[in-house]
């Protein structure tokens, strides 16, 4: 009888691990698709069976007790293995299917990747996509994402990464700004210009460059200007309006450069460290990769094989 009662509590323990990852009853209930009342009842039943408190409830969050943390630490890995096993069984179907939770940066998603998704969904009618557009670097495991698209130089060893395409960074300005303020002949002249920079926490803003050819030393110059933002679309729009010189990733600037609305500056110099040099599809390491993830990665690699060229 005792063993049967313990067996009946496995789902209760799983719900506790979800609370631990989500940090609140409300978020955990939403993740599991159940009511907050059902979540509270399950945890109360689990605490009664365990004979000790497992969570400390506050008005804003939930913290595990020492006993609760011990139980979560001992079972999280096992539940992850069960989830992976079930995904493997479900993926025995011949076609990709199921929900795929995807996250990507706002500007990259809006301009380049979201337009590609309808064709993928038509080709794979069994797949559904939930897309999070955010420039915040999410914890894929904690936030429950199956795949992230990242613009970076490298990815952590704990994750699996597929290279989608190389990317470049362009120094750009509108014709109106250049007529008014002139065009810089070298990176050393940039401090005298209105520079529109990507907003990051840390030291005073600066840009670094290396010559495309030759072995000259890297040049780092302080920059300042009337506008900064943490979104490359906003910087592009400010540059198009003549507000200053912007350093932009190719996926944001390529179309406007090709159309002549933005002018490339200092083409013999290469920007260093402003944005990543590769576009990656990233997911936490797992022995099994769902077919929906594999299909989407393959589709994106094929669709982005040419990168974001500037034809002009």
**pLDDT of 39:** 87
* 217-238 pLDDT per residue, tens: 899 999 999 999 989 999 999 9
Percent of the chain scored above 70 by pLDDT?
90
Strands laid side by side in the 269-272 sheet: 219-222, 206-211, 269-272
Do 80 and 220 fall within a single domain?
A: no
Q: State the residue range of the domain holding 20.
A: 2-90
Listed range (99-108, 208-217, 255-264) with the worst mean pLDDT: 208-217
Instruction: Tell me the average pLDDT across 172-198.
Output: 96
Query: pTM for this one?
Result: 0.66
pLDDT for the residue 59: 64
The share of the chain scoring above pLDDT 90, in percent, equals 48
Same domain, 161 and 175: no
Look at residue 312 and tell me if it is in a domain.
Answer: no
- Same domain for 265 and 291, yes or no, is no
Our measurement of the distance from residue 45's CA atom to the centroid of its chain's CA atoms, rounded to an integer in Å, reads: 38
Q: How high does pLDDT run on average in the chain? A: 87
Looking at the structure, do residues 106 and 251 belong to the same domain, yes or no? no
Number of domains in the chain: 3
279 by DSSP, 3-state: which? strand
Residues 63 and 117 in one domain: no
| Residue 117 sits in the same domain as residue 185 | no
Bridge partners (DSSP) of residue 100 are 129
Last residue of a domain, one of 40, 65, 90: 90
**173 shares its domain with 268:** yes
Q: Within a 10 A sphere around the Cβ of 104, how many other Cβ atoms?
A: 24
User: How far, CA to CA in Å, does 285 sit from each of 14, 84, 182, 199, 231?
Assistant: 21, 11, 50, 31, 29
Kindly state whether residues 282 and 266 are assigned to the same domain.
Answer: no
Q: Return the minimum-mean-pLDDT range out of 2-6, 123-127, 133-137, 232-236.
A: 2-6
Residue the block writes with tokens 């594999």:
294
């Amino acid at each position: 009888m005792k063993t049967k009662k313990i067996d009946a509590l496995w789902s209760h323990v799983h719900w506790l691990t979800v609370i631990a990852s989500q940090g609140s009853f409300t978020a955990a209930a939403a993740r599991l698709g159940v009511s907050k009342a059902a979540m509270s009842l399950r945890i109360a039943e689990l605490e009664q069976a365990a004979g000790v408190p497992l969570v400390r409830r506050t008005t804003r969050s939930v913290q595990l007790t020492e006993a609760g943390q011990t139980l979560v630490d001992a079972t999280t890995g096992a539940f992850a293995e069960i989830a992976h096993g079930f995904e493997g069984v479900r993926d025995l179907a011949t076609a990709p299917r199921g929900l795929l939770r995807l996250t990507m940066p706002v500007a990259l998603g809006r301009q380049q990747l979201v337009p590609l998704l309808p064709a993928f969904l038509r080709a794979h009618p069994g797949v559904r996509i939930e897309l999070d557009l955010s420039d915040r670097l999410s914890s894929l495991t904690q936030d429950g994402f199956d795949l992230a698209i990242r613009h970076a130089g490298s990815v952590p060893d704990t994750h699996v990464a597929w290279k989608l395409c190389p990317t470049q960074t362009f120094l750009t300005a509108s014709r109106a700004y250049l007529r008014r303020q002139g065009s810089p002949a070298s990176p050393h002249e940039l401090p005298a210009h209105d520079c529109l920079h990507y907003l990051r926490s840390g030291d005073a803003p600066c840009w670094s460059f290396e010559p495309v050819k030759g072995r000259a030393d890297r040049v780092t110059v302080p920059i300042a200007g009337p506008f900064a933002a943490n979104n490359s679309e906003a910087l592009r729009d400010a540059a198009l309006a003549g507000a200053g010189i912007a350093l932009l990733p190719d996926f944001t600037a390529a179309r406007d450069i090709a159309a002549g609305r933005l002018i490339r500056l200092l083409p013999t110099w290469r920007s260093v460290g402003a944005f990543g040099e590769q576009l990656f599809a990233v997911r936490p390491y797992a022995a099994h990769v769902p077919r929906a993830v594999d299909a989407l990665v393959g589709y994106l690699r094929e669709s982005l094989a040419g990168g974001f060229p500037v034809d002009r």
